[in-house]
Amino acid sequence: MFKRAALLFLVSACGVAAASGQGAVNLPQTEQRDRAQRQESRQQERVAQAANLEIVGNTAYNEQELRTHLKEQITAIEQFGLSAARADDAAFFLELYYRQRGYADVNVRYALPGGRRLRLTVTEGPLTTVTNVQFVGNENQSAEKLFDYVAGPTRERSARGRRVLPFVAADLEEGADLVHRVYVAEGYLNSIVQAPHFRFNADRTQVEVLIAIVEGRQFSFGNIDFAGRIIYDPDELRTAMADVLVQPYTASRLADIPRRLQAFFKERGYYDVKVDAAGRPEAARDGQVPVRITVSPGPQYQFAGATVTGLERLRPSYVTRRFTALDGRTYSPKLVDERFRKLMRTGLFNILQVKPTPVGGNQLRMDITAEEAKSKELGFSLGYGTYVGAIVGASYRDRNLFGYGRPISTSAEWTMRGYRGEILFEDPYLFDTENELRIRLSALTFDFDGYDKFELGGRIELSRQLTKSYLVGVFVTSRYVDITKAEILPQFLGRTSYQVNSLGMTQTLDLRSSPLVNPRGLIVDNTFDVAADAFGSQVEFVRSTLRATYYLPFSPRQPTLGTPGIDADLDEGGFRRWFQRSSVAVGARVGVIHALHEGADDQLYDLPIDERFFNGGSSTVRSFGERDLGPRDRGFPLGGEFFSVFNVEYTFPIWGELLGAVFVDAGNLLPNAEDAGFADMRYAVGVGLRYKLPIGPIRLDYGVNPNPRADEDFGAFHFSFGFAF
């Protein structure tokens, strides 16, 4: 027994040593090590299945499975020879295998018949299962919650969804220790959780577990006393850690207080601040623990320049000027973090480290270490969309034009409906300011239902991020549009060859987190532009659009486990993870365009068809094909001057990165801006699938039209990329 206990201790100690030795390693070395371990495991498996080993008495598990479990011990025997000690080790680990699966009375004996043969005789005994876990003394913690911790160690090893919990005494003892940790984490510092007491039935196939608990008093934070040069009002400091102080008193929450106050002082320029918090539970009255906080703020620092090392192609001024713009301002980690994140988003760097270095008494210089990423990339793409059909594209991008960090990209795309080519130049820091310049030139042909067009034009946009969430911009566009072919009657087309120049503004309030992958929060954006003769435009109009979308986590009330026994087949943690991956999105969009002049007498529309709004499709009302909602001429969509779209969508996980969705859409399209409103609304009810990629989801939707008209389909399929709205 001593030998087996020592061996268990050795195994545990080796596990701890391996865990504590983890650190930053080179990825290729890690892959090489993992590959070597897999090869070794496969070799051990081959040895285990071919070894001269006899296992008798086993009925619950087949011999192949048991040999696999013993492959390390068998390999050691094959390498170093069969001995009584190694045979005893094999018997011990086989017995342990059974015990961890609920065979509490198992006994494994070894025998050495001779000729390097090993025989393991298994007396399995009955499979023992836990029928009930009863807690005594738990007045402030629910039995359902405590049971989850008690059953946790066994569940981690057992198959998911298993209704019956096998009896493993060591696991239940570990679970009782976890229960004690729960109490301590909730402020019950003097709580006692006794070792589990087991009561078996007559044939030892079932066991009831009793765990007695003495909760004691729950401790909370009491009087907070400050010492040292605290500078700020004590109430302001208490507010900075208020969310900690309202929780039960624990050692971990006490340790969190210095971190909160250090962040508070550092955000106000005290880079070298030191904070110590000491609690005195022994002096608590009525469960309230007094805490003394000592603050040594040090000097208040200001930004003082920046240096950068590690650059080869990018000019150093591109990096240093982002931080020298802060010179003379009070040091703030948030300002540093904002600039760091913006630089990393450029894609110019693999690694970027910023180290504040005190210089000149109360100044901080930002010492930056950089590793550049590859700045040039060539890409090819293949795809498919329900409306455009097959898609083939190619692109080239240089993120570091002439070493100034100004990206330029070119792209060409062919679809079954036309061609498109584009050049985009960006200057993220125009004249070393926070203003961003974007210049886009494009040419395209496209075959819409009812007409074909050729377009050549460009757009110049100047924008500025006023806050982390609020972006404003102004833009100028110039486009030449030529309707090269039309099946729509001329009176519905409007002007077919024209130059349109416009001046406008945009604003976006984006409060989402992870916009591309798993958005949470609100986004609102608005555009407004004017095309007028004064700008050289042959078409005159005023146009505005507004979009508001809110993505919210779906977190209904957590399910409970019912009776704190083993027959509860719902796992609270699993439900929590399931709902965390679910979301509800609500969106609304409206747009209006109004001509500033009347069209020709033989035209029924004042605006050319290509300037009008369209509705229906994969990102609007999904019971209609692309652009099919609204007025038509012989089945061809004509567009309109006012549109609205409203969407509600719930997504939920199915398997891995595959998600399901149910949605309801509504919207309209009205021919004249004067009639703007929500008349003639059309609807969609549908289901869909999403597959999450790092750059957004692939979507397949089917929307049903609940009230189709004579010339409308019952519904529509949509295959597309990105979020619906």
pLDDT by residue (tens digit) across 615-643?
A: 999 999 999 999 999 999 989 999 999 99
Q: Where does the pLDDT of residue 30 fall: very low under 50, low under 70, confident under 90, or very high at 90 and above? A: low
> What confidence category does residue 39 fall into, taking pLDDT thresholds of 50, 70 and 90?
confident
User: Residues 668-704: pLDDT tens digits?
Assistant: 999 999 999 999 999 999 999 999 887 788 999 999 9
- Tell me the per-residue pLDDT of 337-383, one tens digit each, with 9 for 90 and over: 999 999 999 999 999 999 999 998 899 999 999 999 999 999 999 99
What is the structure's pLDDT at 522? 92
> What's the confidence (pLDDT) of residue 723?
84
Tokens (6 digits) for 442:
């494009």
How much is the average pLDDT of 40-49? 70
C-alpha distances out from residue 141 to 181, 249, 454, Å? 12, 17, 70
- Tokens 């203003």 sit on residue: 435
Give the Cα separation of 261 and 270 in Å (integer). Answer: 11
Pairwise pLDDT comparison (361 vs 200), residue with the higher score: 200
Q: Looking at per-residue confidence, does 4 or 81 come out higher?
A: 81
Tokens matching residue 515: 């916009």
Mean pLDDT of the region 86-105: 92
Mean pLDDT across 34-42: 72
User: Among residues of the chain, what percentage have pLDDT more than 90?
Assistant: 74
Give the pLDDT confidence score for residue 513 in this predicted structure: 77
Domains of the chain by range and CATH?
2-6+34-123 (3.10.20.310), 129-214 (3.10.20.310), 220-296 (3.10.20.310), 302-372 (3.10.20.310), 495-721 (2.40.160.50)
Q: Once rounded to an integer, what is the mean pLDDT over residues 80-105? A: 91
What values do phi and psi take at 266, rounded to 5?
Answer: -65, -35
pTM of the complete model: 0.71
Give the separation between CA 592 and CA 197, rounded to whole angstroms: 74
For the chain, give the percent of residues with pLDDT over 70.
89
* C-beta separation of 114 from 548 below 8 A: no
Inform me whether the pLDDT recorded for 532 exceeds 90.
yes
Cβ neighbours for 449, distance < 8 A, ≥ 6 positions apart: 627, 628, 636, 637
pLDDT given at position 724: 85
Structure tokens at 217: 């008093």
Residues 97-148: pLDDT tens digits? 999 999 999 999 999 888 778 999 999 999 999 999 999 999 999 999 999 9
pLDDT of 683: 97
Ordered alpha helix ranges (H), 51-70 = 63-69
Interior angle at CA 717, CA 711 and CA 718, nearest 5: 120
Q: Is the pLDDT of residue 18 over 90?
A: no
Question: Mean per-residue pLDDT for 320-348?
Answer: 94
Q: Does 427 have pLDDT greater than 80?
A: yes
Which band of pLDDT confidence, cut at 50, 70 and 90, is reported for residue 398? very high
| Residues 596-613, mean pLDDT to the nearest whole number | 86
Task: Say if CB 216 and CB 238 are below 8 A apart.
Answer: no
Query: Residue 372 is which amino acid?
Result: E
The band of 520, judged by pLDDT with boundaries at 50, 70 and 90, is confident
Q: Which of 146-160, 182-196, 323-337, 629-643 has the lowest mean pLDDT?
A: 146-160
Distance between CA 212 and CA 196 in Å, rounded?
A: 8
Model confidence pLDDT, tens digit, residues 541-587? 999 999 999 998 765 443 333 334 333 333 444 555 555 678 899 99
Segment 482-503 shows an average pLDDT of 96
**Across all residues in the chain, what is the average pLDDT?**
88
For the cut 70, the answer to whether the pLDDT of residue 468 exceeds it is yes
- Residue 577: per-residue pLDDT: 59
Determine the pLDDT at residue 47. 65
Confidence of residue 512 (pLDDT cuts 50, 70, 90): confident
Q: What's the pLDDT at 19?
A: 34
Higher-pLDDT residue of 354 and 27 is: 354
Mean pLDDT is lowest, of 33-37, 391-395, 552-556, 662-666, for 552-556
Helix (H) or strand (E) holding 165, with range, is strand 165-166
Q: Which pairs count as long-range contacts for 44-53, CB under 8 Å and 24+ apart, including other chains?
A: 44/71, 44/72, 44/74, 44/75, 45/71, 47/71, 47/74, 47/75, 47/78, 48/74, 48/75, 51/77, 51/78, 52/115, 52/116, 52/117, 52/118, 53/117, 53/118, 53/119, 53/120
Angstrom distance (rounded) from CA 312 to CA 327: 26
Please state which of the ranges 8-12, 91-95, 269-273, 451-455 shows the lowest mean pLDDT: 8-12
Model confidence at 218, pLDDT cuts 50, 70, 90, reads very high
- How far is the C-alpha of 368 from the C-alpha of 356, rounded, in Å? 9
